[in-house]
A and B are shown apart, each in its own frame.
Chain A
């Protein structure tokens, strides 16, 4: 895992704006009706939670996959056809 990076001022502003928008989207959830095809979809905050969790699973899955398929950058270089 990489070290915790220094966050620039622009980065902090971006994060603050993002948090604000996300908060707005959470509030909107209780104002706007979402038409749902499936019961799970109708659960309050389904998309927000799913987005967050799915993203973490994708990254976590990548970390696990690395153990399986990551090789040295010159892995194929010794082969006959490079």
Chain B
């Protein structure tokens, strides 16, 4: 029984996390790393197919099942989990360390869930564990953001469960397979995934919550939830054409928000949303090349995105701010962090020889190959946008720009090690993509190194850099302003509360009226019972023994009935 439980991928991390708060600080981190390494090793052995089933009250559950795309996701989730532990080693926080490890475990277990009920459990577990990371921001703002985050995450879970039940009613069972999005069941599942994948208008929670978490919490958050959702979309909705357009919109709109956002970690949250867009386009196109693109991009993206969040976290940790309007010139004090950040920046911008190039090219190539001209155009436009906010804005405003003459030290050694490993992976994948390609579900036939393609990419990126230099030199680049940028979370934070308060007035009037009426009635009942209980009253007056026994029996019978039926 016990080995069966531990044979569930990720379960080792979920249950192992429970011991984390009990361990002394110097043991805790190595214990977590050992668990992750062991879990990674055992998950690596799992071949595609169904490995564990259970029958619960007549329902067949598929507890462990691997698909062709499971291995790359499981591997990169383990890498991210390990990087998170190393990055947070300077801290002594028991609860967040425990929550972070359990969160990673739940996400890994979810990858291997073969039915929607099992998935639902882990889906909610990722929500409940990760909310501690947002709460760890330890401010009034992070408290509010955490509650809104939890609301959206749990809503996604409930909708997923509704979808699962509808599927069951349709006679399809609970198995996770390709679904038809036009049925109510399929649509519910799509919506549940869409919330966690931050589809347009469902995205507010991401930019709201992630930047409010602690220095280390944001890094942990960036890796799992959204990519788990991408994975599930790829399993259930590959080839669903509307997703191409949803994804294209996702790549575009965050780009403009990222230009004007001042909090650099929030800029990265918009950027994360834009990257998910590329993956969703790949799922929508649904060809072998496109799905390879989505999986490869998710893999590379988790590493360079967490590298970028780590570098901004280090800046926040040392200077106490991540606001572009207050930062600048840090390359002198934090040269290594600056170099790692730049490696992350050129990777996400997909410069040749870095990881973004060998992965994003597959998706963009797939849209071109299938003849989606406008989508293709949108994606290369969005690529110039990525260069703007993640490639240039992040490193420029933090490490260059106005020199704020900070008197700070370089990031702690453990942070540098975590960033160094992530940066090394970005370069290694960029130069030697073959091992990553070998993990993909289909054979990669696309030649990313084709000279013309490399030339086009370099022209696109370097002339965009030239445009940046032109705008800066001419004084046309908009200055950074400390501000709040309205996003779709405005609906949850401002519009809905106002509307509810407006609607609540009549309801409250009714309520207080009803309460006043009830109070009056109760007082009347008291008065009557008082009157009837006097010596000469109806109830307490002298009566015959038979009548008393009759009343007693009636009350006893009533109590019996009440006990039986309530």
Given A4-B475, A71-B483, A47 and B457 contact (CB-CB distance below 8 Å): yes
Q: Is the interface of B mostly helix, strand, loop or mixed?
A: helix
Tell me, yes or no, whether B465 is within 8 Å of chain A by CB: yes
CA distance A72 to B257 in the complex (A): 16
CB pair A32–B143 under 8 Å, yes or no, is no
- A48 lies within 8 A of B460 (CB): yes
A52 to B381 CA separation, bound complex (whole angstroms):
10
Partner of B459, one of A29, A59, A68: A29
Chain B window 250-264, contacts with chain A (Cβ cutoff 8 Å), 1 for yes, 0 for no? 000001111110000
Give, as a whole number of angstroms, the nearest-CB distance from B404 to chain A.
Answer: 14
Is B481 interfacial (CB 8 A cutoff)? yes
A residues 49-82 in Cβ contact with B at 8 Å:
49-59, 61-63, 65-66, 68-76, 79-82
Taking chain A's interface residues, is the majority helix, strand, or loop, or is none over half, making it mixed?
helix
Docked pose: A1 CA to B371 CA in angstroms:
40
Known contacts A18-B469, A79-B497; decide if A71 and B478 are in contact (CB<8 Å): no
Residues of A within 8 A of B455 (CB): 25, 28-29, 32, 34, 47
Contact (Cβ within 8 A) B484 A22: no
Within 8 A of B (CB), among A1-51: 1-5, 7, 15, 18-19, 21-22, 25, 28-29, 32-35, 37-38, 40-41, 45-51
**B476: chain A residues within 8 A (beta carbon):** 1, 59
Q: Is A33 in contact with B452, judged by CB distance below 8 angstroms? A: yes
Contact B484 A71, beta carbon cutoff 8 Å: yes
Contact A59 B475 (CB under 8 A): no
| CB proximity of B493 to chain A, nearest CB, Å | 6
- Closest CB of chain B to A34's CB: distance in Å? 4
Question: Among the listed A15, A48, A58, A72, which residue makes an inter-chain contact with B256, where contact means beta carbons less than 8 Å apart?
Answer: A58
Query: Is B445 interfacial (CB 8 A cutoff)?
Result: no
B459 touches A48 (CB 8 A): yes
Most buried by B among A45, A47, A68, A70: A47
Number of interface residues of B (CB under 8 A): 62
| CB within 8 Å: A-B pair count | 180
A66 touching B478 in the complex, CB below 8 Å, given contacts A73-B484, A82-B143 = yes
- Of residues 132 through 170 on chain B, the ones whose CB sits less than 8 Å from some CB of chain A are 140-141, 143-144, 147-148
Q: Establish whether residues B462 and A59, one from each chain, have CB atoms under 8 Å apart when the complex forms.
A: no
Q: How far is the CA of A8 from the CA of B148 in the complex (A)?
A: 45
Contact of A1 among B388, B464, B475, B483 (CB under 8 A): B475
B234 within 8 A of A: no
A76 to B139, CA, bound (A): 14
Partner of A55, one of B368, B452, B467: B467
Instruction: Let me know if A58 and B385 touch, CB within 8 A.
Output: yes
A79 CB to nearest B CB, Å = 6
Q: Which residue of B lies closest to A57 (CB)?
A: B381
Q: Check A59–B483 contact: CB distance below 8 A.
A: no
Give the CA-CA distance A1 to B478 in the complex, in Å: 5
B464 near A81 with CB under 8 A, answer no
B459 contacts across to A, CB distance below 8 A: 25, 29, 45, 47-48, 51
The residue from A35, A52, A69 contacting B453, defined by CB atoms under 8 A apart: A35
A62–B255 Cα distance when bound, in Å, is 8
Known A-B contacts A54-B385, A55-B387; A81 and B462 likewise in contact (beta carbons under 8 Å): no
Residue of B147, B473, B482 touching A4 (CB-CB under 8 A): B473
| Structural contact, A72 and B484, CB atoms closer than 8 A | yes
Contact A82 B140 (CB under 8 A): yes
Judging by beta carbons under 8 Å apart, are B384 and A69 in contact?
no
Please name 13 pairs of A and B residues whose Cβ atoms are closer than 8 Å in the assembled complex, sorted by A: A5-B473, A25-B455, A25-B458, A37-B376, A40-B373, A53-B467, A54-B381, A55-B387, A55-B463, A62-B257, A66-B481, A70-B483, A72-B483
Residues of A in contact with B (beta carbons under 8 Å apart): 1-5, 7, 15, 18-19, 21-22, 25, 28-29, 32-35, 37-38, 40-41, 45-59, 61-63, 65-66, 68-76, 79-82
Given contacts A40-B373, A50-B460, A52-B463, 20 further A-B contacts (CB under 8 A): A15-B469, A15-B473, A18-B466, A25-B458, A25-B459, A29-B455, A37-B376, A47-B456, A48-B459, A54-B381, A55-B467, A58-B256, A59-B478, A70-B481, A71-B484, A71-B485, A71-B486, A80-B497, A81-B493, A82-B140
